[in-house]
Amino acid sequence: MKTNLSLTFVIGFLMFAFSHTTAQAQILNTKSDIINTHGTPFCSGISENGDPYLYYKYPVTTKSSGTFDQRKVLFFKENENGEEICYKWKILEPASETKYNMFSFSRDLVQTDEMQWKDFGKSIIYDMEEKNGVCRITARYDNEVSLVKTYKM
């Protein structure tokens, strides 16, 4: 029994760790690359502001929440070549995952606000919000060059 519980925890942790890694990699990928990698989405459409999106549901099992469907929405903008590029995604999961998400972000990223982290190497900003029993994570590409420093000799 103890071995099964340990194995379940390890598998859940690995799925969690790899879900953030693959999620980071989706920013700046083309829509066709994402579909080729992750398969046919649960649905797709156009958002209220006119951006195309893909909506995926992934079954996830964690120690804190058990088994649930993690929902991910990826948003796209068209580049100068006419390709649709992912510039933002949102993940929705149970609020019981908030603590683990905060730990993961704080370990790997720079905290810039109470519920915001930034990956300066990849220029991705992560915002987290817990509301009505749902943890919502939004990742977006930050194309602002706010930290450029000029050094004079």
pLDDT tens by residue, 67-80: 999 999 999 999 99
pLDDT tens by residue, 92-136: 999 999 999 999 999 989 999 999 999 998 999 999 999 999 999
Residue 145 has, within 13 A of its CA and on its CB side, a CA count of 3
Q: Pairing relation of β-strands 52-62 and 134-141? A: unpaired
Identify whether 6 is part of a domain: no
Identify whether 17 is part of a domain: no
Work out how many domains the chain is built from and give that number. Answer: 1
Q: Residue 130: give the domain boundaries.
A: 24-149
DSSP 8-state assignment for residue 17:
H
Q: What is the pLDDT of residue 45?
A: 95
Asked whether 49 and 69 are in contact (CB, 8 A), the reply is no
Identify whether 8 is part of a domain: no
CA distances from 86 to 74, 95, 125 (A): 6, 26, 14
- Banded model confidence at residue 17, pLDDT cuts 50, 70, 90: very low
- pTM comes to 0.76
Could you tell me what percentage of the chain is helix, strand and coil, using 3-state DSSP and rounding each to the nearest 5?
30, 40, 25
